[in-house]
């Protein structure tokens, strides 16, 4: 069986932790190019040299720490609450 490069990511949203650096920025942009619904970046830093390009592409940048539940729960509530399959 052969799967397309986009198989399984169309209309899916991704939350990626740990950065707005070169590698993660490339990952975010590639996910969006392949048809994912939404990409969210959780990072300790509010901005980086890639921030504007990511924002222009539609990446949601969330400043916070993965160990601090309130950092991402508050953002999730601002964006309309939990979605199907999410755990509160």
User: From CA 88, how far away is CA 67, in angstroms rounded?
Assistant: 15
pLDDT tens by residue, 1-60: 455 666 778 888 888 887 788 899 899 998 998 888 899 888 888 888 888 999 999 998
Asked whether residue 25 is assigned to any structural domain, the reply reads yes
Residues 42 and 64: beta-carbon distance below 8 Å: yes
If one counts the domains in the chain, the total is 1
* pTM attached to this predicted model: 0.70
Please tell me the predicted confidence (pLDDT) of residue 34. Answer: 87
Asked whether residue 84 is assigned to any structural domain, the reply reads no
Please tell me the predicted confidence (pLDDT) of residue 4. Answer: 67
Asked whether residue 37 is assigned to any structural domain, the reply reads yes
Asked whether residue 65 is assigned to any structural domain, the reply reads yes
Residue 13 phi, psi (nearest 5): -110, 150
Domain that holds residue 53: 13-78
């Amino acid at each position: 069986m052969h799967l397309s490069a986009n198989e399984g990511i169309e209309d899916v949203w991704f939350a990626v932790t740990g950065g707005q650096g070169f590698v993660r920025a490339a990952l975010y942009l590639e996910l969006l190019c392949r048809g994912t619904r939404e990409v969210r970046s959780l990072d300790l830093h509010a901005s980086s040299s890639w921030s504007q390009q990511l924002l222009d592409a539609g990446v949601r940048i969330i400043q916070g720490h993965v160990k601090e539940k309130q950092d991402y729960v508050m953002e999730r509530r601002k964006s309309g609450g939990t979605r199907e399959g999410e755990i509160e």
